[in-house]
Amino acid sequence: MKENEKIIFRLIEQNPYISQQEIADIIGLSRPAVANIISSLVKKKYLLGKAYIVNERNGIVCIGAANVDKKIKTTEKLISYTSNPVTSMASVGGVARNVAENLGRLGNEVSLLSVSGNDAEWARIREMSSPFMNTNSVVTIEGQSTGTYTALLDADGEMYLGLADMSIYDYLTPELLMKQTAILQHASCIIMDLNCPKESIEFICSFSAKNNIKLVLITVSEPKMERLPQNLQAVDCLIVNKGETQAFFNEQYNTKQDLEKAGEKWLSLGVKRVVLTQGSNDLLVMSPNPKWYPIKALNAENIIDVTGAGDSFTAAYIDAWLLDEDDDTCALAGRTNSYHTIQSIQTVRPQLTKNRLLKEMKEY
């Protein structure tokens, strides 16, 4: 056994009913890191029973993409059909994973449910993610590659083109999810992105409704809006942008009144709350009454990378929402986290903590 495994084993041996959070507090690790070590002890047969497991129903399960993100930024104005000088970097990403890390950094107990290849990319994702979430429910698909997402950014840091190799998520099937019902049943909230197959999204909608679990759906792109079910009665919160809304309803929206009508259409499909973003323009929240929130302007020279803007907004909004904060506080939390994330080179800013976010919200 490794040193941390020995310490945790002794603590469980002394008190089989000790909670994972108590262990984390004693040895100075995060709760997800402790969960990963306990899982390792079970796999190695050092732990045979499950007396140590506390029935925790306050965890969040994030289902969807866990990728390696590759960012390529032009140093000058982008010119088509010729060579352009660029800088590049790679980091861990994926909508569900990014949201999970943000939530973990904000102090939530989070589990990631995804699929990966048996490759170096997944090893890197797991290493970087494990301090903030439990990754034991990620299923390895032999013969497949871990997902990758390549973003081409212009000189101002705005995304010019995104390239997604996401075929592995076709394996995130209802059959696979059925084998994970133990973790899903103990969730206080399930968050799912639309990188998952449509039938899997429908399965989670049905599962959440049957088990009275809060459900958040996160859209990821206009082409994948076809994966969204027409019946959204199980969805407590839908986070979607203007372009995706236009694609889903096959309409164009030019005014705030147009967007409010679009919000009413979402609500008519059963969604209890819709959060409609439009980049640097005002944010609309309807639950059911419309509320508009301005986005704080940021000088172009301070914008480093917008890739993580949506995921950081989503996570902070959900964090406040799950604490039963009012609409204004939820919107403020999301906008504040996004505002500071786009000033960071990382998709999830490493400085994020709950106390830091609360302080930043007062200054937003």
What pLDDT digit, counting tens, does each position of 14-40 carry? 787 788 888 998 999 998 899 889 888
% of the chain surpassing 70 pLDDT: 97
Q: What is the DSSP letter of 284?
A: E
- Residues 82 and 154 reside in one and the same domain: yes
The answer on pLDDT for 135 being more than 90 is yes
- Residues 168 and 38 reside in one and the same domain: no
- Residues 86 and 101 reside in one and the same domain: yes
Cα 2 to chain center, whole Å? 31
| Count of other CB atoms within 10 angstroms of residue 134 | 28
Structural domain boundaries enclosing 12: 1-54
Task: Calculate the average pLDDT of the chain.
Answer: 92
- Residues 49 and 176 reside in one and the same domain: no
Amino acid 147: pLDDT: 94
% of the chain surpassing 90 pLDDT: 74
- CATH of residue 33's domain is 1.10.10
Amino acid 57: pLDDT: 55
Strand order from edge to edge, sheet including 67-74: 86-93, 67-74, 148-153, 159-165
The answer on pLDDT for 103 being more than 60 is yes
- Residues 80 and 28 reside in one and the same domain: no
Question: Quick one: 75 exposed, middle or buried, by C-beta within 10 A (0-12, 13-18, 19+)?
Answer: exposed
Amino acid 72: pLDDT: 92
- Residues 138 and 12 reside in one and the same domain: no
- Residues 217 and 121 reside in one and the same domain: yes
- Residues 1 and 146 reside in one and the same domain: no
Domain count, the chain: 2
Q: What is the pTM of this model?
A: 0.81
Q: Across residues 69-94, what is the average pLDDT?
A: 90
Domain boundary among the residues 14, 33, 54 is at 54
- Residues 214 and 358 reside in one and the same domain: yes
- Residues 45 and 160 reside in one and the same domain: no
- Residues 50 and 81 reside in one and the same domain: no
Cβ within 8 Å of residue 17, ≥6 positions away: 51, 52, 54
- Residues 311 and 294 reside in one and the same domain: yes
- CATH of residue 253's domain is 3.40.1190.20
Amino acid 53: pLDDT: 47
